[in-house]
């Protein structure tokens, strides 16, 4: 079968299948949410941002993080004051990275942690290094920049209905 024929056959199949999918009770929503991050404000940490994005994409199957100039998550570098984010916890926010702190702690872990807030995760400073949201809690020797299984499962659940949920913006570190 050539490509054109396959496309026609696929279109017919979709037209038939769509009403069945809509009416199927209990079917898990197969929604993949793409969230765009504008890297322009983070010139000193592009490799670390790339690694943070890769870590999240590997851990959560239904959320895809992509760098794009018109991203709904933006970045800013500051010197001192600590890293933090102002976010709605659902794919929109501003992440501020403190370059002084990034010289003490793993910058990849910091960036991945702040992205975690933008994906709806709260801080858990008393957690172990294996948790991303334990943040500075485990100390400067903690280099882990990957969410653990529980954190990844929570983000998957947070976006099970895509970007439908609307939440208030708040600032957390
Ligand atoms: Zn935090």
pLDDT in tens, 56-93: 999 999 999 999 999 999 999 999 999 999 999 999 99
How many helices, marked H, and strands, marked E, lie in the chain?
A: 5, 6
pLDDT band at 13 (very low <50, low <70, confident <90, very high): very low
Tell me the per-residue pLDDT of 79-134, one tens digit each, with 9 for 90 and over. Answer: 999 999 999 999 999 999 999 999 999 999 999 999 999 999 999 999 999 999 99
CA 73 to ligand 1 center in whole angstroms: 16
DSSP string across 40-63 = GG-GGGHHHHHHHHHHHHHH-TTE
Q: How many residues does the chain have?
A: 173
Domain range list for the chain: 33-172
Alpha carbon of 18 to ligand 1 centroid (Å): 41
What does the DSSP 8-state code read for residue 165? Answer: -
Residue 90 assigned to a binding site: no
Which residues carry out catalysis? 114
C-alpha of residue 162 to centroid of ligand 1, in Å = 23
Q: How far apart are CA 38 and CA 74, in angstroms?
A: 5
Ligand 1 mean position to 164 CA, how many Å? Answer: 24
- Contact in structure between 124 and 131 (CB atoms under 8 Å): yes
Task: Report whether 124 belongs to an annotated binding site.
Answer: no
Helix (H, G, I), strand (E, B) or coil at 77: strand
- Residue in 56, 64, 55 with CA at minimum distance from that of residue 33: 64
Please report the pLDDT score of residue 167 as a whole number: 75
Class of domain 33-172: alpha beta
Q: Is 164 within 8 Å of 62 (Cβ atoms)?
A: no
- The Cα–Cα gap between 142 and 149 comes to 18
Q: What residues are paired with 44 via a beta bridge?
A: none
pLDDT in tens, 140-169: 999 999 999 999 999 999 999 999 876 799
Q: Is 123 marked as a binding-site residue?
A: yes
């Amino acid at each position: 079968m050539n490509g054109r024929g396959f496309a026609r056959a696929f279109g017919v199949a979709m037209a038939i299948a769509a009403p069945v999918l809509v009416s199927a009770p209990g079917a898990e929503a197969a929604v993949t949410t793409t969230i765009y991050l504008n890297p322009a404000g983070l010139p000193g940490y592009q490799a670390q941002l790339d690694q943070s994005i890769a870590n999240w994409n590997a851990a959560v199957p239904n959320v895809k993080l992509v760098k794009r100039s018109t991203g709904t998550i933006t970045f800013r570098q500051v010197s001192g004051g600590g890293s933090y984010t102002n976010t709605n916890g659902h794919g929109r926010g501003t992440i501020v990275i403190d370059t002084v702190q990034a010289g003490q702690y793993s910058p990849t872990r910091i960036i991945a942690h702040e992205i975690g807030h933008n994906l709806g995760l709260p801080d858990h400073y008393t957690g172990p290094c294996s948790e991303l949201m334990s943040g500075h809690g485990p100390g400067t020797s903690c280099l882990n920049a990957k969410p653990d299984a529980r954190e990844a499962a929570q983000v998957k659940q947070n976006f099970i209905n895509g970007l439908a949920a609307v939440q208030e913006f708040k600032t957390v570190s």
